[in-house]
Chain A
């Protein structure tokens, strides 16, 4: 992964967030992805989301696996720790890191190759554990680093750059996540920052596993005619089921509530999600209905986007395990040492 530092110069008039930081403070190194790569738009959205939420950059931990998508953590929040792990196993690293200190914001960035092939098992199990993290799946349906093979999210009939037609059915991360109990499932498009930023903010504020599948066209290997993950195709078939507004805890929201079709979800940190229903028959709190809606629309060739499902009531990994609220990585040894008396008591049973 290339890493070129950006010059740290910013306009004095740039807006500042509650921490007094500017957007520049949430940026990382220069991207070395292809010009126009959807992943860079996602990076920009992540920068925007973290800035708007006023998260101290060093309180974020960025993790990824292997692939084009997994380079992303190098391109935002240079003041936070990054972890570029091995292929498909970011989820387990995030699980261990989260167990060690549940008080950081964990942002995992993965791709369709990394998550839906070798990483499929770890992704599913992180969902099962309701790990408290934002998991961004940068989905372009193709292997970019190895120059153009189909990934597991490529649609049947989708055409590769060299003309090969995909025969195998795709694994849809949203349907998969819904089916295994994910508590926050969203889909967006890298070219629609207005939709993506509120979703990322909501995902970061969600207590539990927030999966945001982002269609992110690969301009080099999958942006041609016949691709179903191209800019052109996605723009034409984009169908928003739900638009979400994210409202931080301290913000006055009375005026926004005026909209007739708004549904409000209070998140664990006191922030609120305002869900504007676009699809007439869509309910993002009904897992079965969401699954059915998604399947039906996809069979019609539509790319359904928005916050597809949310459940704020399910305990996350820390709650299920009843873990100490204090981070385990800084817990003093006095709290961890059972002492010789305990050792003697244990040994008494072995005599």
Chain B
């Protein structure tokens, strides 16, 4: 029995075998909490494999609304014999382990500080169901029934969820409901229900959805008006295009003609995908490609080309563990440097850093405006944790007055009036030249080339002419600082210790700050949302004696970028790094800040 029984503050983890159909059961479980109004988050730890290898799904239930990984396991459902030893170890003292007692394991690997509960899930399902596949699948729904009894989940909510999921498929509804009831009844009969960990209905999820960031990034592209999408499948970004295709089929098909007003092209590789995106962007279509680190590596040459020839393009990089192939199904933030300066020569790319699926929606949409306004590739740097895990986020809203910012595209009427068009003249002194689209007007013709060109667009190897162009690009970079989203900043007066983080570190940092504050340690916080860094980031660095830079990579890439781009004493920026492939926790942040404070690094 737990010494600290808690309502709505626990983590349930399910250990399973990849490909056995546990995903729908886990979603059912998580959504049950969500519909009970309790803040909840789901993390899927899955292998880079189709089926057969161990997989885990972790659900954090949090009264306080913390939705990052908790870093502890209170209730573990051990469905995989292979990982039983590890699963048993993972349970926090006072926690519970539930296993399938069809194959007795209760005598193995005992722990005195936890409670082990055996449920004959396979036997119950074998007796109840006749089809082999059904027997395997329904074991998963049965453990949801067990958990519902143990955690006091509202069975009415579960019943409704099943009805919503299987509307129109009564045989599936019946078997799922039956499996749930089997588990529920068994737990009620054999165990003292509920456990000290209990779900109590709240009202904190109204106005929220449970959604993953790849889906919302796809929605961002859809609502921004993207009309050309090219990609090469790669984990963990593949589902961006899966979602985009699904939405496009529904919302981009002319009801009268049946024709699509979006071209979705599965490229032969990433080299081609970015080529298509640039070709479409050059021709005036809003175009994008989702990819991940290895794809960014392959796209490098074209990214430099896009920067130098000033072609709008949007990339959604769902980061995974590198280097090289790394761990395709684990999360990291290790593409920051690779994206910031992708390609040879003096290149710089605008980066946007969503912290969660909600921001993945808004920033993916914003990326198209920025790309066209600045005439340059823009990379949205999300990660596997944001992209593929289910997050609770506020309802997405779309401004009905939104009109795409197409940037400086000279129309035929304007071309008609001018004497001669020159592609790279800095007419407005903001570093952004006017462009024209092919086919619009004979006067608009110009030549796009990755080789040296002058302000008129003509080839040059003249030292001064070349330098004038790259200097203007630098001027455009300064303009970009004013256009990109400002960082999110939380100051408290008189505090000289700051934390800077990026992207999906946000949840862990917020929780860590609350816990540190509870222990009397006050911190200020800035989360960068874009590169280039605006004035606010420099101000934040200047305002603090110590700044902990929290990020999920080994080499402190964000910290490196801050030092390269801003004025700061390197000793003042203290790296807080987490890079094992699992999402960062508040404990990861606090532990490293505590160590820093022990060395006198915190004010």
Which residues of A approach B to under 8 Å, CB–CB? 1-3, 56-59, 61, 63, 73-74, 78-86, 89, 91-101, 103-104, 121-122, 124-125, 129, 321-326, 328-331, 333, 335-340, 342-343, 346-347, 350-351
A97 touches B279 (CB 8 A): yes
B395 touches A96 (CB 8 A): no
Among the listed B396, B436, B439, B442, which residue makes an inter-chain contact with A101, where contact means beta carbons less than 8 Å apart? Answer: B439
By a CB distance below 8 angstroms, the chain B residues around A78 are 445
Report A55 CB to chain B, min CB distance, Å: 11
By a CB distance below 8 angstroms, the chain A residues around B282 are 83, 93, 96-97
**In terms of DSSP, what is the predominant structure of the interface of chain B?**
mixed
B509: Cβ under 8 A from any A Cβ: no
By a CB distance below 8 angstroms, the chain A residues around B263 are 99-100, 321, 323, 328
A347 touches B211 (CB 8 A): yes
A96 touches B280 (CB 8 A): yes
B491: Cβ under 8 A from any A Cβ: no
B438 touches A61 (CB 8 A): yes
Q: How far is the CA of A92 from the CA of B313 in the complex (A)?
A: 14
Report A105 CB to chain B, min CB distance, Å: 9
Among the listed A99, A122, A325, which residue makes an inter-chain contact with B272, where contact means beta carbons less than 8 Å apart? Answer: A122
Report A206 CB to chain B, min CB distance, Å: 19
Among the listed B223, B275, B404, which residue makes an inter-chain contact with A92, where contact means beta carbons less than 8 Å apart? Answer: B275
Instruction: List CB contacts (< 8 Å) of B264-295 with chain A.
Output: 264-265, 267-269, 271-285, 287
B228 touches A328 (CB 8 A): yes
Q: How far is the CA of A3 from the CA of B445 in the complex (A)?
A: 14
A84 touches B446 (CB 8 A): no
B272 touches A329 (CB 8 A): no
A329 and B227 in contact (CB under 8 A), knowing A58-B442, A95-B272? yes
B345: Cβ under 8 A from any A Cβ: no
Q: How far is the CA of A333 from the CA of B225 in the complex (A)?
A: 6
B285 touches A103 (CB 8 A): no
Q: How far is the CA of A121 from the CA of B122 in the complex (A)?
A: 50
Q: In the complex, which of the residues B228, B250, B279, B302 has the most CB atoms of chain A within 10 Å of its own CB atom?
A: B279
Q: Can you list 26 A-B contacts (CB < 8 A)? A: A57-B445, A58-B442, A84-B451, A85-B278, A86-B301, A93-B275, A93-B282, A95-B265, A95-B276, A96-B278, A96-B281, A100-B228, A100-B279, A103-B439, A121-B268, A323-B259, A329-B227, A329-B437, A331-B261, A336-B261, A339-B400, A343-B398, A346-B219, A350-B209, A350-B215, A351-B34
The 8 A CB mask of B404-443 against A (1 = contact, 0 = none) is: 1000000000000000000000000000000011111110
Report B583 CB to chain A, min CB distance, Å: 20
Which residue of A is nearest B436, CB measured?
A81
Q: How far is the CA of A223 from the CA of B396 in the complex (A)?
A: 66
Report A75 CB to chain B, min CB distance, Å: 11
Among the listed B276, B279, B285, which residue makes an inter-chain contact with A83, where contact means beta carbons less than 8 Å apart? Answer: B279
By a CB distance below 8 angstroms, the chain A residues around B451 are 1, 84
Enumerate the 9 nearest inter-chain pairs by beta-carbon distance, A residue then B residue, closest first: A96-B279, A92-B275, A96-B276, A100-B285, A329-B284, A93-B279, A81-B438, A96-B280, A99-B263
Report A135 CB to chain B, min CB distance, Å: 14
By a CB distance below 8 angstroms, the chain A residues around B274 are 92
A58 and B228 in contact (CB under 8 A), knowing A85-B450, A324-B259? no
B223 touches A343 (CB 8 A): yes
B378: Cβ under 8 A from any A Cβ: no
Instruction: List CB contacts (< 8 Å) of B205-243 with chain A.
Output: 209-211, 215, 219, 222-223, 225, 227-228, 230
By a CB distance below 8 angstroms, the chain B residues around A325 are 257, 259
B219 touches A58 (CB 8 A): no
A333 touches B262 (CB 8 A): no
B271 touches A328 (CB 8 A): no
A89 and B396 in contact (CB under 8 A), knowing A1-B459, A81-B445, A122-B275? no
By a CB distance below 8 angstroms, the chain B residues around A330 are 284
The 8 A CB mask of B238-259 against A (1 = contact, 0 = none) is: 0000000001001110100111
B283 touches A337 (CB 8 A): no
B439 touches A84 (CB 8 A): no
Which residues of B approach A to under 8 Å, CB–CB? 31, 34-35, 209-211, 215, 219, 222-223, 225, 227-228, 230, 247, 250-252, 254, 257-265, 267-269, 271-285, 287, 301-302, 305, 395-398, 400, 402-404, 436-442, 444-451, 458-459
Q: In the complex, which of the residues B228, B395, B403 has the most CB atoms of chain A within 10 Å of its own CB atom?
A: B228
A92 touches B272 (CB 8 A): yes
A101 and B438 in contact (CB under 8 A), knowing A329-B283, A351-B35? yes
Q: How far is the CA of A333 from the CA of B305 in the complex (A)?
A: 28
Report A93 CB to chain B, min CB distance, Å: 4
By a CB distance below 8 angstroms, the chain B residues around A61 are 283, 438-439
Which residue of A is nearest B272, CB measured?
A92
Report B366 CB to chain A, min CB distance, Å: 15
Among the listed B35, B280, B302, which residue makes an inter-chain contact with A89, where contact means beta carbons less than 8 Å apart? Answer: B302
B268 touches A58 (CB 8 A): no
B278 touches A79 (CB 8 A): no
Report A34 CB to chain B, min CB distance, Å: 18
By a CB distance below 8 angstroms, the chain A residues around B403 are 333
Number of A-B contacts defined by CB within 8 Å: 223
B447 touches A101 (CB 8 A): no
By a CB distance below 8 angstroms, the chain B residues around A91 are 272, 275
Among the listed A86, A121, A339, A351, which residue makes an inter-chain contact with B210, where contact means beta carbons less than 8 Å apart? Answer: A351
By a CB distance below 8 angstroms, the chain B residues around A129 are 265
By a CB distance below 8 angstroms, the chain A residues around B284 are 100-101, 329-330
Q: How far is the CA of A59 from the CA of B429 in the complex (A)?
A: 31
A337 touches B287 (CB 8 A): no
A84 touches B442 (CB 8 A): no
By a CB distance below 8 angstroms, the chain A residues around B279 are 63, 83, 92-100
Q: How far is the CA of A325 from the CA of B440 in the complex (A)?
A: 17
Q: How far is the CA of A82 from the CA of B423 in the complex (A)?
A: 12
Q: How far is the CA of A250 from the CA of B283 in the complex (A)?
A: 31
Q: How far is the CA of A93 from the CA of B283 in the complex (A)?
A: 10
Report B403 CB to chain A, min CB distance, Å: 6
Which residue of B is nearest A347, CB measured?
B209
Q: How far is the CA of A156 from the CA of B225 in the complex (A)?
A: 52
B442 touches A57 (CB 8 A): yes
Q: How far is the CA of A67 from the CA of B586 in the complex (A)?
A: 55
Q: How far is the CA of A103 from the CA of B259 in the complex (A)?
A: 16
Q: How far is the CA of A127 from the CA of B31 in the complex (A)?
A: 47
Report B352 CB to chain A, min CB distance, Å: 20
Report A11 CB to chain B, min CB distance, Å: 21
Q: How far is the CA of A328 from the CA of B250 in the complex (A)?
A: 17
Which residue of B is nearest A122, CB measured?
B272
A336 touches B275 (CB 8 A): no
By a CB distance below 8 angstroms, the chain B residues around A321 are 260, 263-265
Among the listed B225, B280, B404, which residue makes an inter-chain contact with A99, where contact means beta carbons less than 8 Å apart? Answer: B280
Report A298 CB to chain B, min CB distance, Å: 28
Q: How far is the CA of A100 from the CA of B271 in the complex (A)?
A: 19
B445 touches A79 (CB 8 A): yes
Q: In the complex, which of the residues B210, B250, B271, B436 has the most CB atoms of chain A within 10 Å of its own CB atom?
A: B271
- Beyond A2-B459, A99-B263: 6 further Cβ-contacts under 8 Å? A82-B445, A82-B448, A83-B279, A92-B230, A323-B263, A337-B225
Q: How far is the CA of A172 from the CA of B396 in the complex (A)?
A: 54
Q: How far is the CA of A37 from the CA of B581 in the complex (A)?
A: 57
Q: How far is the CA of A321 from the CA of B260 in the complex (A)?
A: 8
Q: How far is the CA of A333 from the CA of B222 in the complex (A)?
A: 11
Q: How far is the CA of A73 from the CA of B261 in the complex (A)?
A: 30
Q: How far is the CA of A151 from the CA of B151 in the complex (A)?
A: 70
Q: In the complex, which of the residues A85, A322, A342 has the most CB atoms of chain B within 10 Å of its own CB atom?
A: A85
Which residue of A is nearest B402, CB measured?
A337
Among the listed A58, A336, A340, which residue makes an inter-chain contact with B439, where contact means beta carbons less than 8 Å apart? Answer: A58
A3 touches B277 (CB 8 A): no
By a CB distance below 8 angstroms, the chain B residues around A351 are 31, 34-35, 209-210
Which residue of A is nearest B228, CB measured?
A99
By a CB distance below 8 angstroms, the chain A residues around B230 are 92, 95-96, 99
Among the listed B264, B277, B445, which residue makes an inter-chain contact with A58, where contact means beta carbons less than 8 Å apart? Answer: B445
By a CB distance below 8 angstroms, the chain A residues around B219 are 343, 346
Q: How far is the CA of A85 from the CA of B278 in the complex (A)?
A: 10
Report A164 CB to chain B, min CB distance, Å: 30
